[in-house]
Amino acid sequence: MDLINIANIKVSPNIYKLINEKIIPGTNVTKEKFWNEFSSIIEDLSKKNETLLKERDEIQETIDNWHLDNKNRSFDIVEYKKFLEEINYLIKKCPDFKINTKNIDKEISMIAGPQLVVPVDNARFAINAANARWWSLYDSLYGTDAIPEEYGATKTTAYNIHRGSKVVSFSNIFLDNIFSLENSSYSSVSSFQIDKTDNKYNLIAILTDNTKTQLTDPSKFVGYTKKADGELTSILLKNNGLHIEIQLNREDSIGKLHSAGIKDILIESAITAIQDFEDSVSAVDEEDKISAYTNWTDLMKGTITSTFTKDGSELVRTLNPDKIFISQENENDTYIISGRSLILARNVGIHMYTDIILTKENEKTPEGFLDIMVTALASMHDLNGNSKYSNSPNKSIYIVKPKMHGPKEVAATVELFSRVEKALNLNNNTIKIGIMDEERRTSVNLQQCIYEAKDRIIFINTGFLDRTGDEIHTSMKAGAFLPKSEIKNQPWIQAYEDQNVDIAIKSGFIGKAQIGKGMWAMPDEMKEMLNNKIGHPKSGASTAWVPSPTAAALHALHYHYVNVKDIQDQLLNREPSDILNLLTPPLMSEKLLEESQIQKELENNAQSILGYVSRWIGQGIGCSKVLDIDNVALMEDRATLRISSQHIANWILHDITNKEDVISIFKRMAKIVDIQNKDDVNYTKMSDNYEKSIEFQAALELVFNGVDTPNGYTEDILHSYRRKSKNP
């Protein structure tokens, strides 16, 4: 393929065409300026990127050597901390400060609620995520294990009235708790009406005994819709900044079963959605990146569509329009709420390089440079009002940046964003940054990292899996790590989670920026999620990740029960976490594991790796539900792969197991994974020929090269094997 020479770079022709013909028109940026500025950015900043990556390697080597030099001594956390300070792994504290980010949309600054994360290369998923701002509570309860299937309440093809009654009962209890009626329950309501008294419009509930009542807190009623004859069709309520819409229709098959004609309750669910270019996608070449960039551009233009077949009919999915209600304050005024989640993009990390853009010396360039140039350029359609629907009314671009190691890398990313703003004629700090607190050197220097981005930061969050993967790799030579289930019960993880909230609050995030928590990884276990994920808002986090619109709707209930702002105010003066807990690696003690424990841990890890890698390499699926060894579906991406491969690599290094046993276990687990995927017509079996199975060999290389792979990242190996799979 002949590359196009422009300025001092060489560009793949199809990406050149996409940018010039689809993305640039309407942005007020000329083709010449875009490519010349991009070339300058690559020329000016690539060396700094290389230097930062080299510094990572040098620091890791220094830490490895310290552990080797002290391997015959008991681990001394005080000495270890002193050593990390001497090598500038631990950086001196910065002065106290408050973030100064401007023009943040309320979905990020003011509203606490779920955050959905989806691969941007799948148009249907991307649209679903954007439309998950509003989701059916009835459907989310009826179709999941949130409602038990006992006593005749089974999920059947035809509507099961017994199950439906349990859904209604659950919903009535929620309404009674959050939008309570004076001396009554929603189960006793026969109808609703709007009453005008003293120029105020109030919601009145007429009960089955013909008495009337109203909301305990009338201010929670904010809007409604009605037919021309005045019959109410919906009621809009608001609590803790979140809305719900009670939909009314006595003619509906569900509505006629409710005394008040309630046919559904729509929950304001995924307040924000991250369209992911990173861990949940398999984008290894120009073709893949074009697919991702096209979807992002169409999201920013509001024109994205997805065509699919359901029950024999072809359907076209598009973005939802805004929701318009009659205002409670005045029947001549409207109350408008976005019909879509506020969209953010997660670009790739600084360690990723691409051959889509080459230097004049034919060297690969940082893929993150390309990501930010293209995502920001495409976002200008939203900023310039070219979009069918507005994403950011406050004219900001939201970019989440993953896998940064410490303040220097944050500062370099801020410099990159500033250069991109200049290249695209954007105002300073238009491009906002979300910092993933998922690497150890960022965690232990979190306040300094935030300080470097204080004028554009809108988000930090914890990510247990990547953070654990980096924990293992950083301390790889220190000793054997505990089994994965025990790692998350060690003091370091609570210190990590608490510190993230404490530092964000201290840095002025309340009312300005998101404090986030990690993903619920079991998309089919909604009952368990309802029982446990309420811990995230209770921790002071204003958002937490969910894997589906259904999970977003159910998790949104937690933010009605918990007022996050009140929690954050209570945490303002909490005693900070002990840095020594954060620095203590979760190593095994002298107590040896039983052989059965070792086997079980290795089998779980191997099965997880193979279940994910087989689809990543063979089908280009970057995120999906993968059955674990017990056939429980887990939402997996590269973060889960990183921890599993690093864990086995660590156990091989410290003689808990050996290469031969690992290969044997992988072969046994490959047979299980093959059986689990037997109904997938696009799946390629691994156990037919292990030596020739490209998926199986990739999985082994991830483990056996895990010690020497920079930071334990999986991308280089995955990309190499996926390219072989696409071009045998």
Residues noted as catalytic: 346, 637
Q: Which two tokens stand for residue 723?
A: 């390219």
Question: Which of 605, 598, 609 shows the shortest CA–CA distance to 696?
Answer: 609
Q: Which two tokens stand for residue 155?
A: 């999920």
Q: Which two tokens stand for residue 624?
A: 């999906």
Q: Which two tokens stand for residue 454?
A: 């204080």
Question: Which of 268, 195, 257, 267 shows the shortest CA–CA distance to 232?
Answer: 195
Coil, helix or strand for 320?
A: coil
Q: Give the pairing of strands 189-197 and 334-337.
A: unpaired
Query: Is the distance from CB of 325 to CB of 318 less than 8 angstroms?
Result: no
How far is C-alpha 278 from the chain's CA centre?
Answer: 10
Strands ordered across the beta sheet of 221-226: 134-136, 262-268, 242-248, 232-239, 221-226, 323-327, 334-337
Strand ranges (E), 392-513: 397-401, 431-437, 457-462
Continuous segment of H or E residues that includes residue 343: strand 342-346
Query: Is the distance from CB of 457 to CB of 421 less than 8 angstroms?
Result: no
Ramachandran class of 685: left when φ > 0, alpha when ψ lies in -120 to 50, beta otherwise = beta
Continuous segment of H or E residues that includes residue 695: helix 694-704
For 618-647, give one letter per residue: b (16+ CB within 10 A) or e. bbbbbbbbbbebeeeebbbbbbbbbbbbbb
Q: Which residues is 516 bridged to in the sheet? A: 461, 543
CA atoms of 638 and 616, how far apart (whole Å) = 10
Q: How many CB atoms lie within 10 A of CB 201?
A: 18
Using CA atoms, how far residue 403 sits from 226, 318, 714, in Å, is 50, 32, 12
Cβ within 8 Å of residue 12, ≥6 positions away: 1, 3, 4, 286, 355, 356, 357
Coil, helix or strand for 668?
A: helix
For residues 644, 450, 371, 375, the Cα torsion angle rounded to the nearest 10 degrees is 120
N-to-C CA span, the chain: 17
- What one-letter code names the amino acid at 416? L
Q: How many CB atoms lie within 10 A of CB 560?
A: 21
Query: Could you give the count of Cα atoms lying within 13 Å of 331 in the half-sphere of its Cβ?
Result: 12
Query: Is the distance from CB of 353 to CB of 710 less than 8 angstroms?
Result: no
Which class for 101: exposed (0-12), middle (13-18), buried (19 or more C-beta within 10 A)?
buried
Q: Give the pairing of strands 200-207 and 189-197.
A: antiparallel
Continuous segment of H or E residues that includes residue 568: helix 564-570
